[in-house]
Amino acid sequence: MISNRAASTADIKTHTVVIVGGGAAGISVASSIHKRDRNIDIAIIEPATTHHYQPGWTMVGGGVFRPEVTSKPMSDVMPGFVSWYRQTVTSIAQDKNQVDLADGSSLQYKALVLAPGLELNWGAIDGLEPALGTNGVTSNYREGMASYTWEMVQKLKQGTALFSQPPMPIKCAGAPQKAMYLSADYWLKHGVLSNMDIQFHNAGAVLFGVPDYVPALEAYIEKYGIDPNFQSNLIAVNGPARKAVFRTTDPEGNSQDREISFDMLHAVPPQRAPEFIRESTLANEGGWLDLEDDTLRHKTFTNIFGLGDVSGTGNAKTAAAVRKQAPVVAENLVATLHNKPLQAAYLGYGSCPLTVENGRIVLAEFGYGGVLQPSFPTWINDGTQATKAAWWLKAKQLPTLYWYGMLKGHEWLAKPAHRSGLD
Ligand code: FAD
């Protein structure tokens, strides 16, 4: 009865479930809801015509994947059972159970799922956005730009390569480093590493937020001769002059700006929730969607759920987190529609496959509070060292798992935990 169609009318239409965003989270949760109850009428609001497998962008930047394998037309991944509105959400009127769209129309819902991802705040770094794609300034975080990273890595035979990491939270917190390790590995294997001055400039104070993985990463910092700089935040870029400015803050809070010339700069911008969430009463103090950590239901509005990068929960913002979150939201949302207690619980799982060299990965898997949550045997995930098996998983298995497992509602390694004695 429900078709995969675009709708744009000034009438207020109603759907049982409205999902905002057709990215990793929106499509996965739609499939997981449908899997539980095929009669639920679901709409997805998503303006983009292309769906990206963003975890593949690191591999494009390292010359491992061709760019085209990381994208598909949105129409290919949009489930046939949803009504697709090719629109942008401008605001949520939760008191009216209503979502307002950029074309002036509105949709009403019984339950709402917010999955619009996050906003890359390129403008927060002076001069960065116009510099991207020229003069060696690149970012694997920018759609279509990971190929330029790979081009720069191959061209560079000597000089200074800077890799920046902004303040947390960001999506895939390991990705700024992954770009650096894969680049350094290429320079090592092509005999030019000794000509390179590689600097990591991290706005944070530690190499990785979960201490268990730090020794393995430090070994690679040493192996590649990388100069690590902490509390050093990229604040400005002059592309034509090939200069970057970093603000370094000492433990006493005194700051100092340092200008560094570069031949290549891999920059990652600060990140925040989309404005229609950030500036609304749905947000927590940090501007992220204010959800219960376990049920993923909004803390105030009981028919609103959320998942993915927009979430204010303290997990790592990754597609791997979405894999575990989607069944939890689906189960709890269906329970809400049937006035049943919420049973499914998300324990904060997130995963970061740290590509420390072409062929080996340190696979970080952890939940809330940095508690390790390995889901693979130690021959794949030995947190203390890089394994070839984890590389095989990332390079050969995870894209298929994403396109044909997660987005289709096959909940591989994603069975929800259950709450006990609550609700
Ligand atoms: P997205 O997939 O970004 O989708 C959000 C969707 O919402 C988009 O389609 C957007 O068009 C839509 N939208 C936005 N605003 C609106 C609006 N107002 N109205 C309607 N629709 C809207 N994760 C891993 O698990 N492993 C990795 O190795 C990994 N590596 C990464 C490397 C890089 C370089 C990057 C950039 C990300 C990486 N990630 C990785 C993170 C992963 O891609 C994200 O965590 C994941 O895509 C989050 O899914 P999401 O649906 O919340 O957001």
Atom 16 of ligand 1 has which residue's CA nearest to it?
116
Counting from 1 in the atom list of ligand 1, the atom nearest the Cα of 307 is 52
pLDDT in tens, 255-268: 999 999 999 999 99
Q: What is the 174 CA–ligand 1 centroid distance (Å)?
A: 15
Q: What is the 261 CA–ligand 1 centroid distance (Å)?
A: 32
Residues 6+ apart with CB under 8 A from 95: none
Counting from 1 in the atom list of ligand 1, the atom nearest the Cα of 27 is 51
Atom 34 of ligand 1 has which residue's CA nearest to it?
141
Residues 257 and 353 in one domain: no
Residue 2 has pLDDT above 60, yes or no: no
Q: What is the 270 CA–ligand 1 centroid distance (Å)?
A: 15
Atom 12 of ligand 1 has which residue's CA nearest to it?
21
Residues 151 and 289 in one domain: no
Residues 129 and 266 in one domain: yes
Answer whether residue 5 is part of any domain: no
Residue of 72, 309, 398 best suited for mutating to test ligand 1, as the one with most atoms within 8 Å of CB? 309
pLDDT in tens, 65-105: 999 999 999 999 999 999 999 999 999 999 999 999 999 99
Residue of 46, 172, 276, 391 best suited for mutating to test ligand 1, as the one with most atoms within 8 Å of CB? 172
pLDDT in tens, 332-372: 999 999 999 999 999 999 999 999 999 999 999 999 999 99
Residues 176 and 306 in one domain: no
Least confident of 107-111, 388-392, 419-423: 419-423
Residues 146 and 265 in one domain: yes
**Domain tally for the chain?**
2
Q: Which residue has the higher pLDDT, 11 or 377?
A: 377
Last residue of a domain, one of 270, 293, 322: 270
Counting from 1 in the atom list of ligand 1, the atom nearest the Cα of 54 is 43
Residues 304 and 236 in one domain: no
Answer whether residue 239 is part of any domain: yes
DSSP string covering 184-241: HHHHHHTT-GGGEEEEEEESSSSSSSSGGGHHHHHHHHHHTT-EEEESEEEEEEETTT
Counting from 1 in the atom list of ligand 1, the atom nearest the Cα of 353 is 28
Atom 27 of ligand 1 has which residue's CA nearest to it?
55
The token pair that represents 292 in the structure block: 């219960």
Q: What is the CB neighbour count within 10 angstroms for residue 373? A: 15
Answer whether residue 89 is part of any domain: yes
Least confident of 42-51, 306-315, 361-370, 382-391: 382-391
Task: Please give all residues whose beta carbon lies within 6 A of any atom in ligand 1, as ranges.
Answer: 20-26, 45-48, 54-55, 57-58, 88-89, 115-117, 140-141, 171-172, 175, 274, 276, 308-309, 317-320, 322, 351, 353
- Mean residue pLDDT of the chain comes to 95
Atom 29 of ligand 1 has which residue's CA nearest to it?
55
Domain that holds residue 410: 14-118+273-418
Answer whether residue 9 is part of any domain: no
Counting from 1 in the atom list of ligand 1, the atom nearest the Cα of 25 is 51
Q: Which of 331, 334, 346 is nearest to 291 (CA)?
A: 346
Q: What is the 250 CA–ligand 1 centroid distance (Å)?
A: 33
pLDDT band of residue 10 (cuts 50, 70, 90) is low
Residues 316 and 413 in one domain: yes
Residues 253 and 139 in one domain: yes
pLDDT band of residue 249 (cuts 50, 70, 90) is confident
pLDDT band of residue 8 (cuts 50, 70, 90) is very low
Peptide bond into 169 cis (omega under 30): yes
The token pair that represents 191 in the structure block: 């005999």
Q: What is the mean pLDDT of residues 31-57?
A: 98
Residues that are catalytic: 172, 352
Alpha carbon of residue 221 to chain centroid: 24
Q: What is the 29 CA–ligand 1 centroid distance (Å)?
A: 14
Least confident of 181-195, 241-255, 274-288: 241-255
**Which CATH number covers residue 191?**
3.50.50.60
User: Which contacts of 37-40 are long-range, i.e. CB under 8 A and separated by 24 or more positions?
Assistant: 37/334, 37/337, 38/81, 40/16, 40/334, 40/337
Q: What is the 179 CA–ligand 1 centroid distance (Å)?
A: 18
Counting from 1 in the atom list of ligand 1, the atom nearest the Cα of 52 is 2
Atom 36 of ligand 1 has which residue's CA nearest to it?
141
Q: What is the mean pLDDT of residues 171-187?
A: 98
For residue 362, which amino acid is it? V
Residue 421 has pLDDT above 80, yes or no: no
Last residue of a domain, one of 218, 248, 270: 270
Q: What is the 252 CA–ligand 1 centroid distance (Å)?
A: 36
Residues 227 and 283 in one domain: no
Residues 6+ apart with CB under 8 A from 60: 66, 67, 70, 140, 146, 147, 149, 150
User: Checking phi first, is residue 394 left (phi over 0); if not, alpha (psi -120 to 50) or beta?
Assistant: alpha
pLDDT band of residue 326 (cuts 50, 70, 90) is very high
Residue 5 has pLDDT above 60, yes or no: no
